[in-house]
A and B are shown apart, each in its own frame.
Chain A
């Protein structure tokens, strides 16, 4: 068992190394996309600064520090998910074009193999942004910063699992690009970008169940802020649940994979 885990880590490390070498082939594009994404995120914060400047720094119990948390931890999760494991967003395309064949003939878990097969350059900008804003959110408290970064990295599981679950539906319903955009960008990220206190009961029910915004933002942030281990356990238990759900669902769906003969290249 230990050897299997060790082999998987070595395989993932080698895949990420290959991706980074690929990134270096297009250095300029990588840098431009990362810098643009960093500033794209930064502009959202400017609006919050303007709003809080016009008040006494506290709007209905919400402070600028709460906003900084919301723009660091979930963004670290997003950056980790799509920079290091960005291949997962190609899963739908692979299914439609028969590109999963290569992964199915290799002795590794198909989803892990696919997710380490590519990188989203711009997500590096998100990752750096989250790491920088995180320092300000924890007010340079090293212990809290380490916890925030660790939870941010673990939080990537939610993005990867939701992305995989939606993309696996491609096998049954065809193109899932719009569904993915609505679920991840419009719902999951948007709900995680605003303080929990503004939401009513119905939205709260949704973000703690089908749209796991609470687990990429509110629950881990509460742990960093309060160091109450109940929140940590809750966060880890739901993360494990998502991994199991994704594994079971992928096993069922891949049985129905129909392949194809499209001419395609990896990379």
Chain B
């Protein structure tokens, strides 16, 4: 890989695997004292690269290995085999250094403190990421203005709606100006209006600050409207890694069109139609 390529690549996973041990208890005393141990390969020898500024959708069915992969990339889980580089660093050996470069949002977990306002938590984030007080306040005020959330940030987080909370969460991820943000199902449980707002917010961050976006979602619209590349994972293996346009061209050859007739059709006509169909 040339030096230029190295500078361009922000995430690199090589032959990455994660094996979990599953314990199955057999009935009776024997099962209690010696449960059966089974190995479960959540991620199976995957390799990929992500370039700076890309918006990647990492998708797949439940249990496909999406979250496990994200957790390995962010230093939460240790891979069983393989190597990872994020912003040129190893997230396992250099977890803390990597943390300064990345922002993580897990849609099912809150990074904000429930009893405090988002503003107070943002100030705490400043201390967590070693930003001095002036820089923290400047950054918070800039983000508040940019995303127009002045009316949300001073209310205790527990009183915010899910959508409002998610917008505040995304802003929280950006306090330390990360180079890449990992978003694990950021639109989970949101209504279509808030979903659209969250998508625009993420797109804005990417376009204005060239922040790389690595996103998992079950919502096809998230992928279509937000991302320029998609990696599909199933049973721990990458099955497709394509640009969105190429993916549409290659795989979306069929379209189901539903036609609604203006005149009423009787049940007799339908049955006749079925019988006479060749």
Binding site for B on A (CB under 8 A): 7, 10-11, 13-15, 18, 21-22, 25-26, 98-102, 104-108, 113, 255, 257-259, 261-267
B112 touches A266 (CB 8 A): yes
Bound form: Cα–Cα A25–B20 in Å: 41
Question: Please, what's the 1-or-0 string for B97-141, where 1 marks a CB less than 8 Å from any CB in chain A?
Answer: 101101010101111111110001101101111100000000000
Given contacts A15-B124, A264-B110, contact A259 B76 (CB under 8 A): yes
B99 touches A266 (CB 8 A): no
Q: With both chains docked as a complex, state the minimum distance between the C-beta of A11 and any C-beta of chain B, in angstroms.
A: 4
B71 touches A259 (CB 8 A): yes
Which residues of B lie under 8 Å from residue A258 when comparing CB positions? 20, 77
B75 adjacent to chain A (CB < 8 Å): yes
B114 touches A99 (CB 8 A): no
Within 8 Å by CB of A7, from B74, B116, B130, B158, lies B130
Bound form: Cα–Cα A267–B75 in Å: 23
Given contacts A18-B120, A105-B74, A107-B100, contact A267 B113 (CB under 8 A): yes
Bound form: Cα–Cα A7–B96 in Å: 14
Bound form: Cα–Cα A94–B77 in Å: 15
Question: Please, what's the 1-or-0 string for B133-159, where 1 marks a CB less than 8 Å from any CB in chain A?
Answer: 000000000000000000000001110
Bound form: Cα–Cα A188–B74 in Å: 38
Which residues of B lie under 8 Å from residue A264 when comparing CB positions? 108-110
Given contacts A104-B95, A257-B77, A267-B116, contact A14 B127 (CB under 8 A): yes
B85 adjacent to chain A (CB < 8 Å): no
Question: Please, what's the 1-or-0 string for B18-39, where 1 marks a CB less than 8 Å from any CB in chain A?
Answer: 0010000000000000000000
Within 8 Å by CB of A99, from B78, B99, B109, B158, lies B109
B217 adjacent to chain A (CB < 8 Å): no
Which residues of B lie under 8 Å from residue A255 when comparing CB positions? 78
Name 13 interchain pairs, CB-CB below 8 A, sorted by A: A14-B124, A15-B124, A21-B120, A25-B156, A99-B109, A104-B74, A105-B99, A107-B100, A259-B67, A259-B77, A265-B110, A265-B157, A267-B115
Bound form: Cα–Cα A104–B104 in Å: 10
Bound form: Cα–Cα A262–B110 in Å: 11
Interface residues of B in 31-89 (CB under 8 A from A): 67, 71, 74-78
